[in-house]
């Protein structure tokens, strides 16, 4: 997400499209009016997050942590945030394979993912 560009936004269709860096898989996310409003505040061309796109991938977690601390948010990491999303998706009835795809995980026993999701969601505090 840090590398998203304005060119990845289809304003008419309210669609974010990008290729996952790790797998090359095409991802498309439909956004609602509230997210569109936020996106329109970002640069109209080039990188949507110019500062973050220049931060090394290995330093982005530190940046996230510092932003959370600045906002008095405790106990959330990029890793826990990803897993809490997977747990919420499962709770909403999404098949586990979608959570595995979103987390870029290979197929594995379902109890393993559930156990990880529970642990990460408890860390995230149910955001």
What are the boundaries of each domain within the chain?
A: 1-54, 56-127
What the block records as the tokens of 74 is: 């405790």
Q: pLDDT tens digit string along 71-86?
A: 998 888 877 877 787 7
Q: Residue 118: its pLDDT value, please?
A: 55
Rounded Cα distance between 36 and 110, Å, is 35
Looking only at the bridges linking them, the beta strands covering 9-10 and 26-30 are unpaired
C-beta of residue 95 within 8 angstroms of C-beta of residue 114: no
pLDDT tens readout for residues 4-49: 999 999 999 999 999 887 788 888 889 999 999 999 999 999 999 9
CA–CA dist 98, 53 (Å, integer): 27
How confident is the model at residue 114, as a pLDDT?
53
pTM for this entry:
0.60
């Amino acid at each position: 997400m840090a590398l998203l560009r304005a060119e990845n936004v289809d304003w008419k269709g309210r669609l974010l499209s990008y290729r996952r860096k790790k797998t090359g898989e095409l991802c498309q996310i439909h956004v609602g009016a509230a997210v569109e409003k936020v996106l329109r505040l970002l640069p109209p061309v080039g990188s949507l997050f110019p500062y973050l796109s220049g931060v090394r991938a290995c330093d982005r977690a530190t940046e996230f942590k510092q932003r959370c601390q600045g906002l008095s948010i405790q106990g959330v990491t990029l890793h826990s945030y990803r897993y809490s999303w997977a747990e919420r998706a499962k709770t909403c009835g999404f098949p586990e394979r979608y959570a595995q795809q979103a987390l870029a995980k290979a197929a594995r026993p379902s109890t393993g993912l559930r156990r990880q999701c529970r642990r990460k969601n408890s860390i995230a505090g149910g955001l």
